[in-house]
Amino acid sequence: MYLVTLLRNLLIILAVSSDSHLHTPMYFFLCNLSWADIAFTSATVPKMIVDMQSHSRVISHVGCLTRMPFLVLFACIEDMLLTVMAYDCFVAICRPLHYPVIVNPHLCVFLVLVSFFPSLLDSQLHSWIVLQFTFFKNVKISNFVCEPSQLLNLACSDSVINSIFIYFDSTMFGFLPISGILLSYYKIVPSILRISSSDGKYKAFSTCGSHLAVVCLFYGTGVWGHLSSDVSSSPRKAAVTSVMYAVVTPMLNPFIYSLRNRDIKSVLRRPHSSTV
């Protein structure tokens, strides 16, 4: 599954890079999403592979603190990129004549940087919060993924700082992104229904359908993991949940985009063709 994730995401990146017809904002964001998927799964799965070989089911305090910033960073980047892609769909469908002017290369780079730097800040804040609690260094977590919520619960579940940070983090990387996505599709759906051409409707629904499927998969597994960790203390259930969003989701994302996208499929069918 790890190799499939790497290969499929790399195929999308190579396809977009090699074909000049795919040098558009949508595929630029898709490339960045593929890089985020590769980095996110690479921050978690190698540890799982090592555990399977060594028959170990725990992660040390140092190992957890080492991997947690990367886990948070790339998860937040993916979260922000999905919101950016929703905005891109909104402008492309609702403002098609102004699309080249609004979503220009400078804005694309700016939006990717806006996705990166808040995510980097959030990952460092997670590390700083956890490092304030030094009395549980000998605790071993029964999971191959270092869950920030697990560390915060082990540290001090009643801390005011923890509560403020969790609410802030949930708002910045939960409520605001999903609100932006829902608002975009609130405007997108009526615009698609007004398109007279059946081919245009199909193309718009295909693009939006792929994005919505990835959004549902990302948020669905994330919310499920958060709720299951709060309700159940079973290490086995926590590990299964972690596998779902750390392994299965990054593996399925490129399949969703490549199978439902005509342009990507056409390029992947002719991998040896040269483009100018």
Largest distance between two CA atoms of the chain: 65
Tens of pLDDT, residues 26-65: 899 999 999 999 999 888 888 778 877 887 766 776 777 7
pTM of the entire predicted model: 0.85
d(CA 224, CA 237): 11
Mean pLDDT of the region 158-170: 72
- pLDDT over 50 at 190, yes or no: yes
Backbone φ and ψ of 59, nearest 5°? -130, 135
Token pair listed for 249: 């989701």
Beta-strand runs (E) in 75-185: none
Per-residue pLDDT, 170? 79
Q: Count other Cβ atoms within 10 Å, centred on residue 260.
A: 17
d(CA 28, CA 85): 10
Which superfamily does 2-267 belong to? Rhodopsin 7-helix transmembrane proteins (1.20.1070.10)
Mean pLDDT of the region 217-234: 67
Tens of pLDDT, residues 106-144: 999 999 999 999 999 988 888 787 776 655 555 666 666
Report which residue type is found at 58. Answer: V
